């Protein structure tokens, strides 16, 4: 009987040893494989990862190119508007003496005995010129009583006048003209109480 008992115990011990050895082999192999795979993964990205990286790089290039193009489009648009305003300002600057002459002619006819057709003709021509300037977005500025602004007005002389506030315009020799914020011609004025 003793021999029979020893046999199952010995067999069980051997089975346990074999199972332990197999477990060691099984646990060692995957660890070695995962460690090797991790080293390989660090060394060499997969095709999928390479494609993802290339896609990211191309997407970044595209975004940068789009931003550059958008900036270029905005810059050229602003330059076109600026060129248009500059060209309009140059042409209008040449026409302003005509506007001044028409204004002076109309002032000369006020209160004088002049044929009605003559004064009406001058008034119509002045109105046409005013309409043309409005279409070009040219605005006249400077009236008697406005506050003097050295950025807009060119002071020709100064006078003392108690009826006008300090630093106001008492007389306008030449009206000023502008397109938006761009000054075409500064107004020539007389400043009161400066």
- pLDDT per residue as tens digits for the range 10-43: 566 676 667 656 655 544 444 455 656 655 556 6
**CA angle at 41 for the pair 36 and 45, rounded to the nearest 5°:** 155
Identify which of 45, 46, 89, 101 has the alpha carbon closest to the alpha carbon of residue 179.
89
Q: What are the pLDDT digits (tens) for 35-91? A: 566 555 566 778 898 999 999 999 999 999 999 999 999 999 999 988 988 898 999
CATH of domain 45-136: 3.90.20
For the chain, domain boundaries: 45-136, 139-194
CATH 3.40.50.150 fits 139-194, yes or no: no
Q: Cβ distance 192 to 158 under 8 Å? A: yes
């Amino acid at each position: 009987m003793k021999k029979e008992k020893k046999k199952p115990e010995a067999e069980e011990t051997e089975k346990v040893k074999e199972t332990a050895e197999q477990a060691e082999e099984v646990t060692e192999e995957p660890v070695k494989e995962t460690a090797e795979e991790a080293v390989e993964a660090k060394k060499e990205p997969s095709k999928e990862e390479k494609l993802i990286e290339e896609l990211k790089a191309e997407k970044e290039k595209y975004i940068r190119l789009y931003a550059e193009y958008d900036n270029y489009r905005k810059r050229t648009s602003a330059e076109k508007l600026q060129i248009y305003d500059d060209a309009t300002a140059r042409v209008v600057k040449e026409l302003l003496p005509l506007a001044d002459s028409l204004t002076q002619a109309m002032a000369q006819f006020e209160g004088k005995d002049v044929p009605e057709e003559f004064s009406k003709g001058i008034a119509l021509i002045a109105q046409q010129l005013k309409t043309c300037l409005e279409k070009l977005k040219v605005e006249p500025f400077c009236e008697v009583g406005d506050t003097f602004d050295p950025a807009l007005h060119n002071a020709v002389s100064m006078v003392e006048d108690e009826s006008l506030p300090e630093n106001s315009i008492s007389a306008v020799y030449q009206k000023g003209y502008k397109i938006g914020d761009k000054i075409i011609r500064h107004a020539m004025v007389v400043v009161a109480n400066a």
